[in-house]
Each structure stands twice: as C-alpha cells, then as structure tokens.
Structure 1
Amino acid sequence: MNTTQPGRLERFAEACIRRRAYVTGIFLLVTALMLVAALRVEVRTVFDDLLPRSHPYIQVHEQYKHAFGGSNVVSLVLEAEQGDIFNTAFLNKVKTVTSALQRVDGANQFQIVSLASRKLKDIRGSTEAIDSSPLMWPDVPQDAAGLNALKQAVLNNPLVYGAYVSKDLRAALVTVDFYEGSADYNKIFPQVQAIADAARGDGVRVRVTGEPILYGWVSHFLPETLHIFVLTVGCLVLLLFIVARTWRGTLLPLLAGLSSAIWALGAARLLGYNLDPLVIVIAFLITARAISHSVQLVSRFDEELAAGADTPRAAARASMLQLFKPGMLGVVADAGCMVVVVLTPIPLMHKVSIIGTIWVMTIALSACVMTPVLLSWVRDPRGHAHRLDLGPALDRILGVCVRSATSHWRYAVLAGAVAVFAVSAWYATRIQVGDAQPGSPILWPDSTYNQDAAAINRQFQGADRLYAVFAGHQPNAVKSPEVLASMAGMQRYMAAQPEIGGSSSIADVIPMVRRVLNENNPRYQELGGTAQENGELMYMFVSGSDPGDMARFTDAQARNASVTFYFRDHQGDSIRTAMARLKEYVDAHPLAQGTYQLAGGLVGVLAAVNEVILAGQIESIALALLVLVLCCAVAYRSVTAGIFFMVPVILSNTITFSYMAWKGIGMNLSTLPVAALGIGLGVDYAFYIVDGIKEKIAEGKDLRMATVASLLGAGRGVVVTALTLTTSVVLWCASSLRFQADMGVLMAIWLFVSALSALFIMPAMVLVFRPAFIVKRAGAGSAAGERDIAMHPVPEA
C-alpha cells in the first residue's frame, strides 16, 4: 500500500471505515427518503421544454400560433381502399371523426379543418353577389346528385383539392391543432387513436401523424423500455457474477448504480422536474459510470487481499485511499462535461444538464465512498461463488495489452490511432444537425407512425407546416396589391424546393373570389388592382363565411397575414434550405407597408432548435474539452496532463460521431446530451490506468514495470467493466424506439473505444512520450525495470 498519500485523504478514508456503521446508516436513511420522492417523478414529455424561447422564430411562433396554427397539429387521413371518397358511408366517417376531435383534451375548436367542417367553403356568385357556404356541413349528401355536386365543388376549389382531398380522390385529410400550453400527449394519444380505430374498417384505412402522436408512441412503448431496462440490468448482473465470481463484485456495483439513480430521481422530484422517456438512455449511461467506478474499487480490494492485506477493513481502506483521486477526477470530469449542456437555451437541455450533473456527482458517494465502506464488512474475502474461472481469459487479454505497450508494437498502436483519428474526424464532419432522414428518427422506418407519415406526405401537400408572417405597420396593410403580390411571389419562389408540397395564403383566396364574382371566368383569377378592390373581395368572402374562417389567413384588421408552407419531411437540410431561401426572398423584396417575420409552425420550431444546436454544438464540445483539461491540469498540476487525456476522448468521440454520420443519426435534442456526456465517458478508464502507473512509480518501480503493473491491476477492472457494460447495452437494439437502439449502439462504441484507448493507446503514449507529470518521480532506471519484468513474467497472449 502506498503510504505517501495526503494526510487529509488518509484521515477521511480512516474515518469512513472506522465509523462505517454511522456512514452506512445515514446513507441508507437518505436513500430511503430520496426513494419516496423518486417514486413520484412524472414520466412524460412536455412540449414547452423543447422550445428555445429566446430564439426569434419561437417568439414569432408564440405570438401567432393561436391565429395561424401551432406546432401540435395532428393529421388524420381516411383512405378508401376501393373507389373514391364520394360515397355516403365514407363521408359519414369523415364527419364522425371531425366531430369526435372536438372532444379531445386540448383541441383548438377553431383549428379543426376537414370536408365536414365549416372551414372549407364552396364559393359561388354572380356579378351582383357572392355566396360562401360550407362544402359539406352540417349534413352529408344522401343521393347521387348531391355527391356529384360535392365532387365538382371539390375539384373546382384549389384550397381543397390536393390540400384536403387527395389528387386521386381516394383520401380525405382531417387536421386538428392543440393548445400547446394544455397539450397532454398522454391524454391526446389514446383519445385520437380510439377515434382512428373506430373509423377503420369497411374499406377505410386511417393514418395518423403529428407531434402529439409521435410522443404518444414514445409513451406507449414506455413499458417495453422499462422491460428492456430490467433485462439489461439482469444481463449485467449475470455477466458481473460470472466474471467477478463473487457476490461483492456483483451486488456492490449494482447497488452503487441503483442508489445514484434514486438520489438523482429524488432530486428531480424535489426540483419539480419531470422525466422525459427519451432520456432514459442517459439514465442508463450515467448508471454505467457508477458501476464502472465501483468495479474498479472491488478489483482493487481483491488486489490488496492478494498482496497480503491483514483484514478486509485494511484492504477496503487501502482501496479507497488509492482510487479516491482517479475516481473523483472521473466524476468531476463527467459532471463538468454534463453541466456545459446548460448553456443550450432549451428548457429540456437545462433539466437534463442539472439532473445529469447531480446524478454524476452522486457517484462520488455511492461508488467512491460507499463501495469501500461496504467492502470492509466482507467476511469471507477469498471465497468464490462459483467454479467457472474466466481469470485466465482476462489474463490473456491483458497479456496482449502489456506486450503491445512494452514492445515495438506500441509505435504501430500510436500510428494506427493517428490514422483512425484522421479518417474518423474527416467522416464525422458529415454528421447532420437536425433529423438526417425522412420520418421521425425516434421510431424505426417501418413503424406505423413513419409509414403513415410517408403515405400522408405522398398523398397530400405535406403534414409539417412552416409559416412566415407579414406584419403590417398599420391596419389594412395586407390589402395592398404590393403586399399580396409579394406573398404570391414568395409562394412561387418557395415552390421550387422539392420538399415543399404546397402553400396557402390570403393571396390564394382573393383571386378565387374575383373569378367567382365574374361568372367563373378564368381570365379574372388574379389579385385586385387596388387596395380598395382587394378589400371588397375580402369582405365578400368574409360576409358569406363564419367567424374565424379568415383567421388562418389574416387577422380581423387585415394587418397581419400568414404564408403557410407544407413540408413533406423535416430533415435538417430541408429546413435549412427553406429558411435560407425565405431569408433570401425577404431581403430581396422589402415592403414599405410592413415586414416579414420568421417563422412559425412545427418546421419553424425545428428550425430554431436546429440553429441553436448548430450554434452551440461546437461551443459545447469545446467547453466540455476545456473542463476536462482544467480538471486534469488541477488534479495532476500539469497542463500537459490535460492535453494528454484529450487523446482518448477525442478519438472515442470522432469514431462515435463518424458512426452517427454513417448511420444517418442526426445531432438533435435527443442525441445532444448523450454526446456531451460522451466527452467525459471517454476518459474515465484512462484515469485509472495512468494513476496506477503513477502509484507504482511512487513505490519505486521503473516506468516500464509500473505500466505493466497498472495494466495487470487497474486494467483488469477496465476489461471487466467494458465487457459487461458493452454486452449489456447491446440489448437496447431490441427496442421498438429506434432512438434507444441507436443510443445503445453509441454507448457500446463509446465504452469499447474508451476501453481500447485506456488499455492500448495510453500505455503506449506513456512509454513513448514519458510525460513529466507521470515520470518525474521515477526510480533508478531501466535496468531495474528489466529485472523487475523478468521476476514477474507477462501472461501469455
């Protein structure tokens, strides 16, 4: 045992072991209290948490969402399996669905639009008058003549044909918007699904999409997620039990992970935070860190016993004393990398950052303190729980590590690491900000939701909306011919983008009214020549409609108006292209009557989120690396140490990011906190290896022999942790949520690459570059080291 540790740390370790009953009792009491709070944590998605409220797009969205539509639009499509939709039975189902949506919790009654609503009008008129009446309200046509008349009215109405009735006349669209402040996805999802299920059958297929439905599916799969979580933990228990061969090596790491989770979830409840189902993967990731630290302590405990420690108490004290510094350094580094996420101006990221930081910090107590305290109570430290011994296999793995570090192969290892870094760093630049593929990346491409979304986007203009708002300087500004021409021009300009399936604005309504007023002569389907004429045409349309019918186009004072675009996907590139084109058009077409404000709707919200992530991604990664450098520099009193430990971090992250780019996993709200925590995740193993080398040097060993001893000691804990955790997280690939499966693979990659870096690259770097913060206390020289190696032969590979 090293006797040169600081006095305060020695006294702390001795006090914890000597007063272990009090320490354990207080820990269990607080854990029980936190468990009571943890059991009351709500597991749900809050849409407001996803919005970066300081972003200009979100401010526009919040200001106009009640008039022009929010981002919680749900689209239901009723599709006839044979023939067209113009039969009484099918249209009755459209009417039933439309009426039923009015009773769904949080539905905006004024934003329910379908053939059976009062919003879609049949405009008729002559030179003296104009009549605007609902297409199919309040009753469904009962005879062939009525059905044919409805069909002709739909075909002659560009605001309906293609928008709410498909071009092939085989599908009808029903849309409903939900108030964002009161939208409870856990209530909306089952109610809308029940409506859709009731409408299915009798030759009618129903498809449903929208953010409330998407996150409803996430909640729907929550029981499965919990089952996978339990199965993963069970697999982890089994693997630890097989490898460790002791109950202490199995149960104490799990107790460390479980108690950390209880403390963190209890803190979340006390702070009033909910648990988003999508961050459960992050929960497992942090729990894995607790398990990793605890495994290192158990392994060190076994080493102390093998080295001749008198009692379990002495071995536990020595383990705590020797590993407290690297353990705490790993905890502080992880917490520091997690806390930088709070700089992302999104409430969900704030919550994830705060709770994640608390969660990581609890590892200092649950693993670094409580594991050695509980180890001090072990009664039969040299017994084994089963006869299967994987020790020789682990020795062969460590033998490969030792031989690669102590032979000329270490230069090949470093050269290979440089080559892998260069290739992975280059490919990682292809990672996309935002969604990288059509449909939702949260679910699998063949999921019901993504299949429905693809069908709706194929049959109609697009399920996702973006709107630009013309904000006039004074009332009636919208009536100006220049303003209306500008809006129409914007629609034509944006139509060139393939991802935009259509658009609508008041500039579409006025020409249609003018044509009807002139006996349906196509020559008159154009905007009025003066503001007064446009005002009269708008008045004629409004006078024959119901209150609120014009609200989705312009306000009552004709001061503000929307131009709405319908997107067939919300991939990051599609959104960025659209926003760039919109800004380009606005800059090129200034208006004296007002200005355009961007942007509302779901696509506007996603554009804001993507811009925030794009602006903060490099900043967050840079700050996380800076935190890591500072932690290492302070701990080892050397700036070189900070740079030294960046190597495994950067390598593990470039490889992971290149995998994300290869598999089309975008950097979005779901993956950002995982990526930030991955900065710290890539360095924990290296701390234990390097600190083990320093410890052996302090005992008088040569650098080369110290490296061998560290690999055979701390390296065993790294191998055990990496194998058990990597194997366990692969079970997430069975999840019905693609996001969780992808994050499971990413965690496995991070853990595996981090372990390889600690076992191969770090020892090679130590022996090649001989950094001063490690070797400054080296002993007599290499000759002693060679004799030491001869006395302690390396395990055969």
Structure 2
Amino acid sequence: MIADANSPDHTNAPVTLADFDVHSGIRLERLIFNNRIVVVMVCALLTVVMAWAAFTKLTLNASFDKMIPRSHPYIRNYLDNRESLRGLGNVLRIVVENSKGDIFDPAYQEALKKINDEVFLTPGVDRAWVKSLWTPSMRWTEVTEEGFQGGSVMPDNYDGSPQATEKLRLNISRAGVVGRFVGTDFKSSMIVVPLLDKDPSTGRPINYRALSRVLEEKLRTHYEGISANSGIRVRIIGFAKLVGDLIDGLAQVISYFGFAVLVAVLMIYFYTRCVRSTVLVILCSTAAVVWQLGSIAWLGFELDPFSILVPFLIFAIGVSHGAQKMNGIMQDVGRGMHRLVAARYTFRRLFLAGITALIADAVSFAVLMVIDIPVIKDLALTASIGVTMLIFTNLILLPVLLSYTGVSERAAKRALSVKGTPQLGGGSTLWNWIERFTERRWAIGALAISALLMLAAFIVSQRLAIGDLEPGAPELRADSRYNRDNTYITGHYSLSSDQFAVMIKTEAEGCLKYPTLIEADRLAWEMQQLPSVQTTVFLGNAIRQITAGSYEGSPKWLTLARNQDVLNYGAQQASVNNPDLFNNDCSLMPVIAYLTDHRAETLDSLVAVTHRFAEEHSTPERQFLLAAGSSGIEAATNIVVREANRTMLIYVYAAVIALCFITFHNWRAVVVAVVPLVMTSILCEALMVILGIGVKVATLPVIALGVGIGVDYALYLLSIQLAQQRLGASLAVACKRSIEFTGKVVALVGFTLAAGVVTWIFSPIKFQADMGILLTFMFIWNMIGALILIPALSHFLLKTPQQAGAKNQYLATDPGELFVGQRARAHQ
C-alpha cells in the first residue's frame, strides 16, 4: 500500500541514477530527497541544540503529588485538609538504633540529639510537626492525688547522669510511646519527620535526590562512622527516601542503555555485515532519544524513576523501524539499483506502513493520559514526543543518509543470497516452516493451539491483582537497604508505618460533641475487627484516658461521657500531648488505623468497611471522608489503577484498530493484525499472575506499550503481503515475499529488543526488573505471533482467489519490487 500512481513496476524499474525521474513520487518524497543536504543540516543542527538542552536543563527528580490521583474523591478529601494532617502524608521515619546497648546510654542520647537537630534544620522539613524524644511535643502525663501532672519526655536538665537517665526512663513509661516512638526492645527510638511540598527558601519542589543524599551523608554515613564503637545504626523509611534510593539506583540505567546499544549493534551487524548501515541505524535511533530528552527539557519537564525508562523504548522502536528501511535499501542495492534510487523506492514502499506504525505507537502512549495519575501522564507525554521524533530521524533522515552512504557491496549481495531461491518452498528450513502456516492443516493447528493458550491464560489472568503484593517497598528488591530498614522497624515497633485514616469533618468544635465521638468510636471498632488492623487511634481514646485519670484512674470511667464539659476537658488535656488528633478549631478529626501491611487485599477490605460506614453514617452535621495516610493514598491509587486498567486497553485497541483500518481498508486485515496482539496481552497478564506482579503505577503502562510496539510487526508484514495479493499473487507466495522482505527483519528486531531489555532483570529497582521481564516477553511473543498467526489467519480471512497462471507469474517476480500504485488497487 506504499507508493503513488506513478510507481514503476518490476518490468521497468530503473537501475542507474540517470534512468530515474527525480520528479517522480509523492510531493513529500520529492521535497525530502531533492533537498537532501538541507534535511541533513537541519537534523544535525537540531541534534546539537537538543543535546545541549538535555545535558544542561534536564533534571532527575520525583514528586509526591505526581504519584497520586489528584482528582479521585479520596485524594481530594486529603488535599483539602492537608494542612491539618501533616503527619498523615509525606512523612519520613528515622530510627536511630543502639546495637550495643539501649536508648538510655548517654552516648546514644547525645547522638540522637545531634541527629534530631540535623533533621530539624534540613530544608523541606515541616519543623512544627517533627516529633522525637528530643522535641517538646513529645510529652508525658500522669494522674496524681493532686490531679494531672505532665511535661516533656526529655527532662529539661538532662545531662546523661544516672539520675537524669532514670527520669527519662520513667517519663517514657508514663508517656505510652513504647512501640510508637521507642522500640519495644528499648534499643532504638524514632524521629517522625513530615515534609513540606516545596522548599520555603527557594519555592521549588523538594529535591528528593538531594534530600536522600543529605540523609545518607550527614546522618547514616556520618553517625554510623564516628559512632562505630557505640553501635549507632540509622534506619530511614518514607516516600522521600524511597524515591531517593530509586533515583540513585537509576545510575545503572546508563550502563543498561549502553548494553542495549551494544546488543543492537552486534545483532544488526550480524544480520547485514555492513558497518556503515549499522552505524547509521544506531545513530538515528540515538538521535531520536536526544531529541526527545531535549524537547522535554525545553518544555520544563523532569525525568522521574518511571519516565526514565522511556528513552529505552524510543531507542528500541527506532531500531525496529530503522532496520526495516536499511533492509529495503540493502536489497534494492543488491539488485543493481543506485543507492539514491534504492532509498527513494524504499521510502515509497515503507513510509506509509512506518508512519502508521509510529502513529499507533504514539496513540498507545497518549492513551495513557486518560489515567489520572500525573506521573503516568508525564510518561505518556514524553513517550509520545519521542515517537514523534522517530518520524523525522528514522523514517526521513535515515533513508536520506543511506542515499549518500549506500551499503557495502558484500552486504548488498548477502541481502539477496540469504533469501534463498525464488521458488515456493525454497530458502532456509525455518522460513519454509513459517510458510506452511498458510496451508489449512497447519493454520488450523496454529489457531487451535493459540486458542487453547489464550483460554488458559485468560483463566489465569482473572487472578491478576491490583496494587502491591509484597510487604515493604515493592519498587525495590527485598534485600535492599530500604526494605531491610522497613523490616527492622516493622519488627521492633508495634505500630507500622502503613496508616489508613478516615477524616471526620464537622462544624467548628463539632468533633468534641458526644454523637460525633460515639460515631467515630463505632468506626474505630469496625476497623479493628479486620485482622489486618493492628490498632486504631483517635481523639476518643485520649479522652477516655483523661476522663479515667480525672476520677483517680478508675477503669469505670474509661468511657466517653455524655457531659460536654467532661469531653471538653479531656480534649484540652489530650491536645497537649497529641496535637495531631484534631485541628485547631476541632472541625476535623482523623480516625487512624495502623495496618500490618499495605497489600492490595488488605486495603480492599479496609476500603470496603470504611466506605460502607461512611455512606451509612454521614449526615449534614458530620461527614466521614476517605482517606488519608500512606495506605489511604495507596488505596485510592489502586482504585484508579483498577478502573484505568481495562479502560486503557479498550482505548489502545480502539486506536490500533482504527489506524489499521485506515491503512488496510479491509476489516479482515484488521482482524489478522490485532488477534496476535490480543493473545500477547492476555498471556502477559497471566505471566504477571504467575510471577506475583500486581498492576500498579509502575506496571500499568507495560501492556499498552507492548500493544503499541507489537502492531509495528503486523503493519510491515501485512503491507507487503496485501500488496502482493492485490497484484494477484497467491497467499503462499505473498506470505513468502512478505517474510523475505520484512519478516526476517521483524524476527531480528524482536530478538534485538528482547536482548536489550532482558538485562533490566538485574536492576536493583524491582519495578524496572518487572518491566524488563514483561517487555521481553511481549517483544518475543508479538514477534512470534506476527510470524505465525498472520499467515494462519490469512488462510481463512485473506486468501487470494486463484487465477490461472498467477502462481508461476508471480514466482518469477523479483520480491524486492513491491510497489503498489493505483493500478494495483484495480485488482482489489
């Protein structure tokens, strides 16, 4: 389907440049190839400019807000009340351990004080909400004969003496912070550090990479180093530290990119034995990556741990399209054409298929923008920009450069010799085997096996989970420093860092009213019935303790009194030690559940309970709003991912089907092109179930990306096959020529892309390793599906009506001359 009305057929194809009409071809072809030097100079200038922008303007960072679906009702509720919930959002937890003693060692307390001061002065820290043994907000309270007594946990005159140490020990026991801020074995204590959204001194978003380095260098490395004899160990968890570790781990991405380039070079050279064409394919694909990075730098975007993988995909797609152009030119040169003529003919044959495939890729990426998570929207935008750049670098610049350099004579001759004889059944055993799938017996067998595989995979894929399936931070390896720290903290503190909070919104002073506290108490009780909930905390708990303390500690008064004065007094006393239990005017009160983990099923069960309670018990006087806390935010994210998962695939396939129909003008050809993609998608979901990979922000885009890249294979193969069939060739002959002209390159590209990303499985970043496994699988299966299922499906849907003598006539036709003009359409 690629040429114009004036495309010459095989009988008069010019061989020399003198025989070629430079004014032939479509207007775009004439504009490009009649101004080749201008095209090269403009592209070279753009490459320099984009490279400068990429190296000087592009930064690597991440944002807490970009990781959450801001328009989801749960997240809107959290953001609307964020200022009153500083301890339930982006929080660092720093645990300082004394591995050779306990927290009452004066040397330990001196180190803890210095670490607390370092953290307090760190840019981006919300200092008013920092809490540790050394902050005044950590207080104790006790009931005496004279009433309540209290004060800061850390004695004002603490000097490390035995008397001061004993007083500290007493204050800790009276404050009830063991298991929350002090380890259950008394060997560590915790500093809770809420973070601001922006650095107040610069007004810019917090640089998590810089913050992570400060934590590593000024805290962990410094204090563990100078205090080696005292056994100080610093453990840090929280979103900011997680992102910092991810960014540090991405330093290996450069080496993986280099490996992918090396693999592409070796495999393409092994196939072509031509240095110049191999170098040009790699250079043009790399130029597309440079253009992409430069463009997003000019637009003011940042790279994050998720979009950093996009350059790999752009390079991979570029190699795929570049290899097809290189292969076409190489074959034409081998038949005696001048390199410029070969470049123009290849441009005519493959430009429509190439640009349609790239548009399909771009649309597949762009569809990800329907997912209401900013980090995925950024990934979709940057990937779409990169694919757009490939139109210029690999569909236009590469043929132009090859029209200057040509290919080596040895490579050109080899390109023809590896195709085998021009007779049906000739060539290598592998390609003969693929041709057999155009026969009924083989086609039925292939489709039957495929149907069974799809059915089995579909059944398995029904168990595909949404969200995290492992404790800790699944973005990192289980043995990473972050997850080791998380394991330690989980094992030594009775309250986990996985918090799920329901916000109760009332009028001013409304959270102190008896009906509100009773309803909050009922909610807390229902949450506690779930085995995944360790405990719940809300204002009513503190009021109970204060009320009982006011009556000589009698357990009969561990209740919520109906008397408003009693409730007011209890809340006033509670606010001294726990100011985060309600906001300043008592119009917002969180009910916080501490969870055993943040697995998908844990969050789903808790959301079900709290959502039902909120619907049944919300009134105009009090609203139960979901959800805050790290697990509340993750629960909302899981909901958005679950809803977007199928919607995204529907949009992706709708776009691919529409583009295929525009290209082929034949619904049967669309079915032939899309079925292998559907099979690969279902198999990929089954593989995720088998490997224990859940659908989440990191893995959600993978299947869409696989569909977008996989359709390239079908477009190239079917374009040539249908062109031959429209000229009257039998299905077997058309399939053979399609495989000879583009099929072998499809196989080459499939293995090249798979070999390039398979190294990701060694990445310290778990989600990158997961993406490497899934993309490798999809690259291979898309390639296999295209080479086997397209011939098999074509037997039933695209079989050419047999014409007398057609078989022998088209067997003699040079398979390189695959032009389709308007005259060929008359045979349709």
The answer on 1:424 being equivalent to 2:457 is yes
Q: How does 1:562-573 map to 2 (within 5 A)?
A: 562-573=590-601
Change (3 A) 1:303 1:790: closer
Shift of 1:735: 1.4
Aligned to 2:207: 184
Does the Cα contact within 8 Å between 2:330 and 2:407 map onto a contact in 1? no
Aligned to 2:17: none
Aligned to 1:597: 625
Measured against aligned partners, the alpha-carbon deviations of 1:585-625 in whole angstroms (never above 9, x if no partner) come to 33344467412111112222222222222122211110111
Supply the AA of the counterpart residue of 1:123.
T
Q: Which of residues 687, 690, 695 is equivalent to 1:667?
A: 695
Question: In angstroms, what is the RMSD of aligned CA positions?
Answer: 2.8
Measured against aligned partners, the alpha-carbon deviations of 1:21-80 in whole angstroms (never above 9, x if no partner) come to 122222222232222222221121122222322222222222322322242111122234
Does the Cα contact within 8 Å between 1:67 and 1:551 map onto a contact in 2? no
Q: How does 1:13-412 map to 2 (within 5 A)?
A: 13-39=29-55, 40-69=57-86, 70-82=88-100, 84-126=102-144, 128-140=146-158, 142-158=160-176, 160-182=177-199, 183-193=206-216, 194-200=218-224, 201=228, 202-306=230-334, 308-379=335-406, 381-384=408-411, 395-406=428-439, 408-412=441-445
Does the Cα contact within 8 Å between 2:306 and 2:375 map onto a contact in 1? no
Shift of 1:418: 1.1
Does the Cα contact within 8 Å between 1:405 and 1:764 map onto a contact in 2? yes
Does the Cα contact within 8 Å between 2:474 and 2:766 map onto a contact in 1? yes
Shift of 1:282: 2.6
Change (3 A) 1:79 1:269: same
Shift of 1:541: 4.5
Supply the AA of the counterpart residue of 1:177.
P
Aligned to 2:807: 785
SS of corresponding position for 2:409: coil
CA distance in 2, matches of 1:285, 1:380: 27
CA distance in 1, matches of 2:4, 2:803: 19
Shift of 1:266: 2.0
Does the Cα contact within 8 Å between 1:652 and 1:682 map onto a contact in 2? no
Shift of 1:559: 2.3
Does the Cα contact within 8 Å between 1:57 and 1:599 map onto a contact in 2? yes
CA distance in 2, matches of 1:353, 1:702: 41
CA distance in 1, matches of 2:158, 2:636: 42
Could you state the TM-score of these two structures normalised by the residue count of structure 1? 0.92
SS of corresponding position for 1:736: coil
Measured against aligned partners, the alpha-carbon deviations of 1:613-643 in whole angstroms (never above 9, x if no partner) come to 2122211110111111111111122333333
Which stretch shows the higher mean deviation, 206-215 or 249-258?
249-258
Does the Cα contact within 8 Å between 1:279 and 1:670 map onto a contact in 2? no
CA distance in 2, matches of 1:432, 1:601: 22
CA distance in 2, matches of 1:3, 1:143: 91
Does the Cα contact within 8 Å between 1:469 and 1:560 map onto a contact in 2? yes
Shift of 1:413: 1.2
Does the Cα contact within 8 Å between 1:465 and 1:567 map onto a contact in 2? yes
The answer on 1:697 being equivalent to 2:725 is yes
SS of corresponding position for 2:129: strand
Supply the AA of the counterpart residue of 1:481.
Y
Aligned to 2:504: 470
CA distance in 2, matches of 1:54, 1:6: 54
Does the Cα contact within 8 Å between 2:503 and 2:590 map onto a contact in 1? yes
Does the Cα contact within 8 Å between 2:2 and 2:353 map onto a contact in 1? no
Aligned to 2:518: 485
Which stretch shows the higher mean deviation, 685-694 or 34-43?
34-43
CA distance in 2, matches of 1:718, 1:635: 19
The answer on 1:684 being equivalent to 2:680 is no
Supply the AA of the counterpart residue of 2:491.
R
CA distance in 1, matches of 2:91, 2:279: 48
CA distance in 1, matches of 2:236, 2:457: 39
Does the Cα contact within 8 Å between 2:78 and 2:628 map onto a contact in 1? yes
Specify every segment of 5 or more residues in structure 2 that has no aligned partner in the other structure, as ranges.
8-23, 200-205, 421-426, 816-828
Shift of 1:251: 1.5
Shift of 1:368: 1.5
Which stretch shows the higher mean deviation, 2-11 or 69-78?
2-11
Shift of 1:737: 1.0
Shift of 1:442: 1.4
CA distance in 2, matches of 1:291, 1:577: 46
CA distance in 1, matches of 2:295, 2:708: 22
Supply the AA of the counterpart residue of 2:502.
A
Measured against aligned partners, the alpha-carbon deviations of 1:187-224 in whole angstroms (never above 9, x if no partner) come to 22112223133343323333211000000001112322
SS of corresponding position for 2:501: strand
Aligned to 2:677: 649
Change (3 A) 1:349 1:478: same
Shift of 1:557: 2.1
Does the Cα contact within 8 Å between 2:139 and 2:153 map onto a contact in 1? yes
Aligned to 2:818: none
Does the Cα contact within 8 Å between 1:248 and 1:298 map onto a contact in 2? no
Shift of 1:513: 1.9
Does the Cα contact within 8 Å between 1:123 and 1:130 map onto a contact in 2? yes
Aligned to 2:612: 584
Measured against aligned partners, the alpha-carbon deviations of 1:346-370 in whole angstroms (never above 9, x if no partner) come to 2222222222212112222211122
The answer on 1:434 being equivalent to 2:434 is no
Shift of 1:550: 4.4
Aligned to 2:822: none
The answer on 1:10 being equivalent to 2:26 is yes
Change (3 A) 1:198 1:504: farther
CA distance in 2, matches of 1:484, 1:349: 40
Shift of 1:316: 1.0
The answer on 1:536 being equivalent to 2:569 is yes
Change (3 A) 1:138 1:312: farther
SS of corresponding position for 2:581: coil
SS of corresponding position for 1:107: coil
Supply the AA of the counterpart residue of 1:341.
L
CA distance in 2, matches of 1:487, 1:168: 32
Could you state the TM-score of these two structures normalised by the residue count of structure 2? 0.88
Supply the AA of the counterpart residue of 1:189.
S
Supply the AA of the counterpart residue of 2:119.
L
Change (3 A) 1:390 1:477: farther
Does the Cα contact within 8 Å between 1:681 and 1:750 map onto a contact in 2? no
Shift of 1:509: 1.5
Which stretch shows the higher mean deviation, 331-340 or 495-504?
495-504
CA distance in 2, matches of 1:264, 1:700: 43
Which stretch shows the higher mean deviation, 65-74 or 617-626?
65-74
Change (3 A) 1:133 1:9: farther
Shift of 1:83: 5.1
SS of corresponding position for 1:367: helix
Does the Cα contact within 8 Å between 1:166 and 1:459 map onto a contact in 2? yes
SS of corresponding position for 1:368: helix
Shift of 1:519: 3.4
Measured against aligned partners, the alpha-carbon deviations of 1:640-691 in whole angstroms (never above 9, x if no partner) come to 3333322011111111222122212222222223332222122111111111
Does the Cα contact within 8 Å between 1:243 and 1:389 map onto a contact in 2? no
SS of corresponding position for 2:154: coil
Supply the AA of the counterpart residue of 2:765.
L
SS of corresponding position for 1:113: coil
- Matched pairs, number: 779
Change (3 A) 1:141 1:130: farther
Shift of 1:140: 4.0
Does the Cα contact within 8 Å between 2:614 and 2:625 map onto a contact in 1? no
Which stretch shows the higher mean deviation, 313-322 or 552-561?
552-561
CA distance in 2, matches of 1:600, 1:621: 30
